[in-house]
């Protein structure tokens, strides 16, 4: 998907590349959920994020950290995830989430499939809370870059 929006900053909202780069990197260092080694570089108000993380949530945290900074017009996320998603790890996290919502394992037909860094969730859950818990659990696994949500809510 391509975003063709142009962000026009208000008066006083512009920062030179050096200042924006420094501000973004300081924000990344101060955020404990962003691992060491994630860096930002600015060019004309556009930030490029680079580095390596273990979790998709760390990648998302880096984006959120810099998205609200004054002077940011666009973010290009070139952060790499170090490992492929582990099917067993994702499956255990999803099952734990289902257990917390008192779904008996035999009652659940939630299936987990991994392909590289992408996890696909399919099957049925009873409520939006169960849905959100399962999707959030999948994101917590190491190496997850994307979660495809093919879950159906039955109630």
Query: Are residue 93 and residue 75 in the same domain, yes or no?
Result: no
Query: Are residue 120 and residue 146 in the same domain, yes or no?
Result: yes
Please indicate, yes or no, if residue 2 is contained in any of the structural domains.
no
Mean pLDDT (whole number) for 85-104: 71
Query: Are residue 76 and residue 41 in the same domain, yes or no?
Result: yes
Three-class SS of 41-77: EEECCEEEEECEECCHHHHHHHHHHHHCCCCCCEEEE
**pLDDT recorded at residue 7:** 63
Mean pLDDT (whole number) for 58-82: 90
This prediction has a pTM of: 0.58
Q: Mind listing the pLDDT tens digit for each residue in 25-39? A: 999 999 999 999 999
């Amino acid at each position: 998907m391509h975003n063709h929006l142009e962000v026009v900053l208000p008066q006083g909202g512009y920062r030179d590349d050096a200042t924006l780069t420094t501000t973004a990197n300081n924000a990344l260092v101060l955020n404990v959920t962003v691992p060491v080694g994630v860096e930002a570089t600015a060019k004309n108000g556009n930030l490029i994020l680079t580095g390596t993380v273990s979790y998709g949530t760390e990648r998302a945290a880096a984006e959120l950290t810099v998205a609200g900074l004054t002077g940011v017009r666009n973010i290009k996320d070139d952060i790499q995830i170090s490992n492929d998603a582990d099917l067993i790890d994702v499956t255990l996290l999803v099952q734990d989430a289902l257990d917390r919502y008192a779904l008996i394992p035999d009652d659940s037909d939630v299936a987990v499939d991994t392909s590289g860094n992408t996890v696909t969730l399919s099957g049925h859950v009873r409520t939006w809370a169960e849905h959100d818990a399962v999707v959030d659990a999948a994101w917590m696994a190491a190496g997850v870059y994307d979660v495809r949500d093919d879950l159906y809510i039955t109630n």
